[in-house]
Amino acid sequence: MEIVETVGSGPPRFFLRFHPTPATPRYPVRTGGTGHPADGSEVPRVVHEFADYPEGLRIRPTVAFPADAPSELSTGHQGHFAREFAHWLEAAAGESA
């Protein structure tokens, strides 16, 4: 899957290859993958975990960048996650109304 995200100073473009991500008792729905730009090097690894709880939905989005990645990718991605997941939840709430 091709990914273009606005994070930090510019939109990095990479291809995400999904890999098996076993469920856990705490997070029965998990999806993960590894991002690669066109040159084939590894960019981020991601695991997003989801669970229903009596008080609502619990989401644990995780991304790991290589140690030599610019720090703005990590800090920029925090804001990106907040916007991305807020949009997903708003869309889900609109469809269930």
Each residue's pLDDT tens digit, 22-46: 999 999 999 999 988 878 787 788 8
The answer to whether 30 touches 23, Cβ cutoff 8 Å, is: yes
Residues linked to residue 60 through DSSP beta bridges, in sequence order:
49
Tokens encoding 43: 């960019």
Q: What angle do CA 2, 84, 39 make, to 5 degrees?
A: 25
Which of the pair, 69 or 19, is modelled with greater confidence? 19
The answer to whether 38 touches 58, Cβ cutoff 8 Å, is: no
pTM of the model: 0.74
